[in-house]
Amino acid sequence: MIFMENKHFIRTIIEEDIKSGKHAYPVTRFPPEPNGFLHLGHARAIIMNHALAEEYGGYFNLRFDDTNPVKEDTLFVEAMQADIAWLGCHWKHLLFASDYFETMYQRAMVLVEKGLAYVCDLTAEEVRATRGDLRTPGQNSPYRTRSIAENKTLFKNMRDGHYPDGARTLRAKIDMANPNMNMRDPVIYRIQRAHHHRTGDDWCIYPMYDFAHPLEDAIEGITHSLCSLEFEDHRPIYDWFVKHTDMPDVPRQIEFGKLMIADQVTGKRHIKKLVDAGLVDGWDDPRLITLSGLRRRGVPPQAIHRFIHALGLPKSQGDTDIQMFYEYVRDYLGESARRIHAVLDPVKVVITNYPSDTPETLEAPFHRDAPELGTRKIHFGKELYIEREDFIEAKPNKKWKRWALDVEVRLMHAYFVKAHQVVKDADGVIQEIHATYDKDTQSGSGFDARKPNGTIHFVEAHTAQPVEIRLFEPLLKPSSDPKAPYEARLNPDSRRTVHGFIEGAVIPHPHEAFQFTRIGYFALDPDSQKEAYVFNRVVELKSSFKPTFQNK
């Protein structure tokens, strides 16, 4: 597939800033709150922030926005680092907003001294009641006119733990009638005695996002602060805080559209519910689009990069079809994955004219178009397994390119075989297919006296390795009501386990994704034991095969 770097408006902004001399190079950051696991939606922010910095000679930081101790945990900071590193987006500095708590406090004090912030004694309910609503202006807090001296004392007392949780807040003094709700004297510090994952019990006051975030960016010298669209109307408050706290560096907030994937569970809190309820097997369940779930499923990070870059960085917001993502997974794996034979639903084939009870060994490339991937030994012998759906007793029509009685097909990388009779059980289910092979037709021999009806794959019965294979379907029922709660949309058959075989001489690398020839891409799951492999289906192969009858 043709792959080109998408043009987008943020690239234009950065180019202009460099040309005008405003910045020598961009400094970007990815600022997650460590309160859950990262998912495919976050990949856009991570990859784009990283790529933009890299591309224009700047650098990219990872900063944990850990200003709310009750929701955050070191478990998440570690998992996020692992996921981002796996994506290959290397950060220059690993930073924590909590490291700036002292600076933030000082800057808030600057606001107090300028008369731009005041300590408010209103309760949370009272603040809500006086904020007004979308079309009604709010009312000034009765504490808005406190003296600067009193505010300084009170704010210091807040920090020193003189008041109970929630008793007071520090608020910015802006405009209670502003049509932008964010400008109506937003709270910038709250009192909350909670154990912070890094600062422990050092603080009992914590800054709010609107105040903390711009300062974090400014402190780090971030030039272009990318965030998603819902923060667009926070930009005035962002700029207000940077300006009035006298920060020397002025970052610019730029908003882009979030990446939304249709019919997928996204949003850290939604995924957390499924995890907590045991409806999925943890944050790395392969049916989830968490980065760790995708990794476990076997999706290569390169595929995620291709997908993200193909989408670009738009300001509009639509629902992307997960199939488009899978296409990029196939795209990358198609050129890089080793191919091997595997049979998921085996039926036995007996080669009646095979002269020996010991299998012979043949050689086959791992990838026809990538010889550097090498070759492997495959076995052929008297007893084989093929895929049940590759055989039908009577060839139904000319388009049938698989096997049938009296039909000759090529067994890939081996010989032509012709089926003569079937053995069925009492229920009429085929147990064995009896066939003969033609020694002259060996793969690579150049034999071309006859054309086979088609090519199917097989494994040799005695050398094949039994494996467990997990087949995934969408976690949510397709086209279920997007407004319904996720719990009600769960697809009961989203995971199926089958037992099949892979060819005998292959030794997978850890986490390796293979192409099971003619079936799809399958990756080794960490549940695998030595000699007892477990494979996850990453994606199926595309197929233009359209059966015009029931093959049962």
Partner RNA sequence: UGGGCUAUGGCCAAGUGGUUAAGGCAUCGGACUUUGACUCCGACAUCGAUGGUUCGAAUCCAUCUAGCCCAGCCA
Q: Decide if residue 2 touches RNA (CB under 7 A).
A: yes
Which of 306-314, 377-385, 497-505, 529-537 is the region at the interface with RNA (rule: CB under 7 A)?
Answer: 306-314
DSSP letter at 290? B
* Identified binder of RNA from the candidate list 146, 495, 518, 537, rule CB under 7 A: 518
Inter-residue contact 37 to 292 (CB < 8 Å): yes
**Interface with RNA includes 488 (CB under 7 A)?**
no
Contacts of 55 by beta carbon, 8 Å cutoff, 6+ apart: none
Residue closer to RNA by CB (options 216, 525) is: 216
Minimum distance from residue 87 beta carbon to RNA (Å)? 19
Q: Is 379 in the site for RNA (CB under 7 A)?
A: no
31: alpha, beta or left, given left = phi > 0 and alpha = psi -120 to 50?
beta
Site for RNA in 96-135 (CB under 7 A): 122-124, 127-128, 131, 133-135
Which of positions 177-236 make contact with RNA (CB under 7 A)?
A: 179-182, 186-187, 190-192, 206-210, 212-213, 229-234
Torsion angles phi and psi, residue 51, rounded to 5: -65, -40
With binding defined as CB under 7 A, does residue 273 bind RNA?
A: no
Judged by CB under 7 A, the residue of 78, 319, 363, 487 near RNA is 319
Per DSSP bridges, beta strands 375-380 and 495-502 are unpaired
- The one-character DSSP state at 490 is B
Asked whether position 15 contacts RNA by CB under 7 A, the answer is: no
- Count Cα neighbours of 518 within 13 Å in the Cβ-side half-sphere: 18
**Number of residues near RNA (by CB under 7 A):** 94
Taking the C-alpha atoms of residue 152 and residue 157, their distance in angstroms, rounded to an integer, is 8
Residues 240-259 that bind RNA (CB under 7 A): 257
Q: How far is CA 249 from CA 20, 25, 216, 243, in A?
A: 17, 14, 11, 10
- The answer to whether residue 314 forms part of the interface with RNA (CB under 7 A) is yes
Type of residue at 471: L
The one among 443, 465, 494, 536 contacting RNA by CB under 7 A: 443
Query: With binding defined as CB under 7 A, does residue 402 bind RNA?
Result: yes
Q: How far is the CB of 7 from RNA (least distance, A)?
A: 4
412 binding RNA? (CB under 7 A): yes
Report if residue 71 touches RNA, rule: CB under 7 A.
Answer: yes
- Give residue 180's Cα distance to chain centre: 34
**Which one of 1-9, 241-249, 505-513, 524-532 is the stretch in contact with RNA (CB under 7 A)?**
1-9
Residue selected from 169, 253, 266, 290 as contacting RNA according to rule CB under 7 A: 169
Residue 275 C-beta: closest distance to RNA, Å:
18
Residue 143's SS3 state is coil
13 touches RNA (CB under 7 A): no
The only residue of 515, 524, 525, 536 in contact with RNA, by rule CB under 7 A: 515
Q: Which stretch binds RNA (CB under 7 A): 160-168, 195-203, 239-247, 485-493?
A: 160-168
Contacts of 407 (CB under 8 A, 6+ apart): 395, 418, 419, 453
Under the binding rule (CB under 7 A), the answer on residue 299 touching RNA is: no
For every residue of 509-539, DSSP letters joined together read PTT-EEEETTTEEEEE-TT-BTTB-EEEEEE
Interface with RNA, residue 6, by CB under 7 A: yes
Q: How far is the CB of 127 from RNA (least distance, A)?
A: 5
What residues have CB less than 8 Å from 367, skipping those under 6 apart? 337, 338, 339, 373
